[in-house]
Amino acid sequence: MSNLKEIESQLLGTGDLRQNIVRSLGSSTVAILALYGNSVQFIGSGSLVFVTDSHYILTAAHVWDRLQSTPTLGITVTDNINHKFQIPVPAIFPTVFQPDALAWNEWGPDLALLRIPPELVGGIQAFQGFEHILAPPKPFGKVGETWVAMGVPEELAKLTQTHAELQISGRFVAPNPHTHGQHDYFDFEVDSSSPEMPTTWGGMSGGGLWKVWLYHSPEDGEINWYSRLMGVIYWEFPIKNGYRILRAHGHQSIAAIAQSVPPLFVTKRLE
């Protein structure tokens, strides 16, 4: 049976466990694009989530702000295949937390839940999974934990006017929690000093910060994991000594916006 040191070694290295975790979280992560006819513009990242009876894209409010003047939102739903999945912007019902000030700032609030039209959900679920953001934690005995920031750094994207080749990435991070006013936050460092690393993490806005718990499977004793979406990335600070700090809203803020979603009214004709 694997022990905790073996788990940590796998996570810190490039083993299958690390890759499988990122791949699993990527199934609920999307790149968000603005579509103007045949023109494509990359806007940011988001997470597919489920609240009560509806399905949403959870992202940053400033990502939604940039989308409102476009006719169509596009998201990635699979990899290694050219595709276009479109959602008409007028058909999206948004719930938004954004600052009262005229300018965006490091404290936000900067959160948006974009309700996906029900008739389009099946086409997404054929390839992607939706995270239940208000679900209680699972009761498995934990032997370790880690955190992963998911999103699409724009510097790693290959963009033309009509085509976007996007790389959904996962970075293992060590976030520091704190609060300010009514909202909770996580700050974490990312390395920008290496030539292989982006110098800016623009495009990660709206991406998810996930907590991953590791446990021994009760069936075969092997290491398995479960995850929970704990944050939404929305701000990057200037580089200092080769590192940037990124900021995410925390789970308390996510729960607050989820609980403020207006009910979906359904009209039924009486025969």
Q: What is the reported pLDDT for 235?
A: 96
Enumerate the β-bridge partners of residue 171.
149
CATH 2.40.10 maps onto the chain at 4-26+135-258, 29-129
Q: What is the reported pLDDT for 2?
A: 44
What sign for the dihedral angle of Cα 30, 31, 37, 38? negative
Q: How far apart are CA 171 and CA 239, in angstroms?
A: 17
Q: What is the reported pLDDT for 198?
A: 84
Q: Please list the alpha-helical segments (H only) found in 40-159.
A: 61-67, 118-125
Burial 115-147 (b: 16+ CB within 10 A, else e): bbeeebbeebeeebebbebeeeeeeeeeebebb
CATH number of the domain at 4-26+135-258, out of 1.20.81, 1.10.10, 3.50.40, 2.40.10?
Answer: 2.40.10
Q: What is the reported pLDDT for 131?
A: 94
What sign for the dihedral angle of Cα 39, 42, 48, 49? negative
What's the pTM value of the predicted model, to 2 decimals?
Answer: 0.89
Q: What is the reported pLDDT for 263?
A: 73
Q: What is the reported pLDDT for 81?
A: 64
Please give the structure tokens belonging to residue 147.
């955190």
Cβ neighbours of residue 172 closer than 8 Å, sequence gap 6 or more: 11, 18, 146, 147, 148
Q: What is the reported pLDDT for 170?
A: 92
What sign for the dihedral angle of Cα 48, 74, 164, 62? negative
> Tens digits of per-residue pLDDT, 201-259?
889 999 999 999 888 777 776 778 889 999 999 999 999 998 999 999 999 999 999 99
Per-residue pLDDT of the chain in tens (271 residues, 90 and over written 9): 345 556 656 665 657 888 899 999 999 999 999 998 778 889 999 999 999 889 999 999 999 999 988 999 988 887 666 667 889 999 999 999 998 777 789 999 999 999 999 999 999 998 899 999 988 777 666 678 899 999 998 887 777 766 667 888 899 999 999 999 999 999 999 988 888 788 888 899 999 999 998 887 777 767 788 899 999 999 999 999 989 999 999 999 999 999 988 876 544 444 4
Q: How far apart are CA 234 and CA 236, in angstroms?
A: 7
Q: What is the reported pLDDT for 28?
A: 95
Element (H, E) at 25: helix 16-26
Q: Please list the alpha-helical segments (H only) found in 109-165.
A: 118-125
Q: What is the reported pLDDT for 192?
A: 84
**Apex CA 20: angle with CA 19 and CA 23, to 5°?**
85
Q: How far apart are CA 254 and CA 249, in angstroms?
A: 7
Enumerate the β-bridge partners of residue 183.
180
* Residue 45 · residue 150 · CB < 8 Å: yes
Q: What is the reported pLDDT for 1?
A: 37
Distances (CA, A) of 107 to 21, 44, 54, 201: 30, 19, 28, 18
- Fold classification of 29-129 is Thrombin, subunit H (2.40.10)
Which stretches does DSSP call E strand in the chain?
A: 29-36, 39-51, 54-59, 72-75, 85-88, 93-97, 111-115, 131-132, 142-151, 158-159, 164-165, 169-173, 176-180, 183-191, 208-216, 223-236, 243-249
Cβ neighbours of residue 19 closer than 8 Å, sequence gap 6 or more: none
Q: What is the reported pLDDT for 237?
A: 96
